[in-house]
Amino acid sequence: MTSPMPLQAFGCTGAQVSRVALGCMGLAGTWDPNAVTPENISKAIKAVETALQSGITFFDHADIYGGTACETVFKECLKALPGSREKMFVATKVGIRRGYYEHEPEYIRNSIEGSLTRLGLDYVDLYQLHRPDPLTHPAKTAAALDDLVSRGLVRMIGVSNYYPHQVLALRRFLQAPIVSNQIEISLLRLDPVYEGAAGANGDGVLDQCLELGITPLAYSPVGRGWLTGHREVPQDHHQRATIDRLLAVMKELAPAYGGATPAQFAIAWLLRHPAGIIPLVGSTNVNHIKAAAGAAALVLSRTDWYKLWVAARGTNVP
């Protein structure tokens, strides 16, 4: 019998969400909305159903995923799984256009209407700015986001790919709290953790999350698939030595953790951090989803967490 998925508080709110989320970027199985097939939809429904059965309640979208098709396919999932919306925390994002970014108020207002129509929802639980837009003053963006919250179209506001001072600039003008920051973080991308890998600079994102009560959402938590142990790493891959070290340590640790897989170790390593990182698992493979959910029950010891960090850094801690 598997352990139930643990929940955690989300940001500074009273909302409770699953410790592992499903990233829905690949849910449609295509980036062409006109190429979605019944088979794509059936696979998506099974993926969402498996996630729910595994205790995952957090589903993360963006208006550009699948060229908008992922939100549309998710609507079909909700239709096929009656009563599922009440169990879900649904997030989406705005701001990436073809070749540029935009946070102008009119674009934000139009985008949320489009997302809600495609998703078949009256509101989303979390609305995120997908990437910073240097050409829009944060005061204008903040006013638009606060308006969406006041109208009940959005419950909470988050950001994505924001560095600490970009968060502070938006926060200065925003009445609603910033509850999350979605960033790429894994054992192959350490910058947010502290000082980063050898030769890299830390960015302080996780420290700011701890300071301000912001929940970090981690995309690519298994290093863009390189830490699954199922992919042949090219000889000229710039992180090949790091990947080899990490997989070797994971193999060494596996017997002590019930034969945990490399992907589970990669996810558990993020979950162990006190900032309350929520890994976003981007898969429609039901076995991968089940395994990722199982990682929530894997609690790494302090020494084993550091073994993995040292392997990722390529050098001992000072």
* Domains delineated in the chain: 7-310 (3.20.20.100)
Q: What is the pLDDT of residue 196?
A: 45
The pLDDT value recorded for residue 197 is: 45
Are 270 and 280 within 8 A, CB to CB? no
> Tokens standing for 259?
């034969």
Q: Are 293 and 48 in contact (CB under 8 A)?
A: no
State the Cα–Cα distance between residues 211 and 209, nearest whole angstrom.
5
Instruction: Give the per-residue pLDDT at 4.
Output: 82
- Report the distance separating Cα 248 and Cα 250, nearest Å: 5
What's the whole-number average pLDDT of the chain?
95
Chain centroid offset of residue 257 CA: 25
Per-residue confidence (pLDDT) for residue 182, from 0 to 100: 98
For 252-282, how does the pLDDT look when each residue is reduced to its tens digit (9 = 90+)? 999 999 999 999 999 999 999 999 999 999 9
Is pLDDT above 90 for 296?
yes
Range with top average pLDDT, 79-83, 227-231, 314-318 = 79-83
Residues labelled catalytic: 65
DSSP 297: G
Residue type, 66: G
Q: What is the pLDDT, as a whole number, of residue 198?
A: 45
Nearest-10 Cα torsion for 93, 298, 245, 224: -20
Is a pLDDT exceeding 80 seen at residue 1?
Answer: no
Beta bridge partners of 278: 217
Band (pLDDT 50/70/90 cuts) for residue 317 is confident
Residue pair 67/309 in contact (Cβ under 8 Å)? The answer is no
With contact defined as beta carbons under 8 Å apart, do 243 and 233 qualify?
A: yes
CA distance 159 to 147: 16
Tell me how far apart the alpha carbons of residues 215 and 177 are, in angstroms, rounded to a whole number: 12
Mean pLDDT for the stretch of residues 151-161: 98
> In the chain, which residue ranges form alpha helices assigned H by DSSP?
38-53, 69-80, 105-119, 138-150, 164-173, 205-212, 240-253, 262-271, 286-294, 302-313
pLDDT, position 3: 66
Residue 14: pLDDT over 90: no
CB atoms near residue 174 (< 10 Å): 20
Beta pairing, strands 89-94 & 124-129: parallel
User: Measured in whole angstroms, how far is the alpha carbon of residue 231 from the centre of its chain?
Assistant: 22
Q: How far apart (Å, rounded) are the C-alpha atoms in residues 242 and 233?
A: 11
Residue 121 is predicted with a pLDDT of 98
pTM of structure: 0.96
Q: How far is residue 246's CA from residue 266's CA, in Å, rounded to a whole number?
A: 9
* pLDDT at res. 304: 98
pLDDT digits (tens, 9 = 90+) for 177-207: 999 999 999 999 999 987 544 445 678 999 9
pLDDT at residue 134 is higher than 50: yes
Distance separating alpha carbons of residues 210 and 24, to the nearest angstrom: 26
Q: Residues 125-133: what's their mean pLDDT? A: 98
Predicted confidence at residue 2, as pLDDT, reads 54
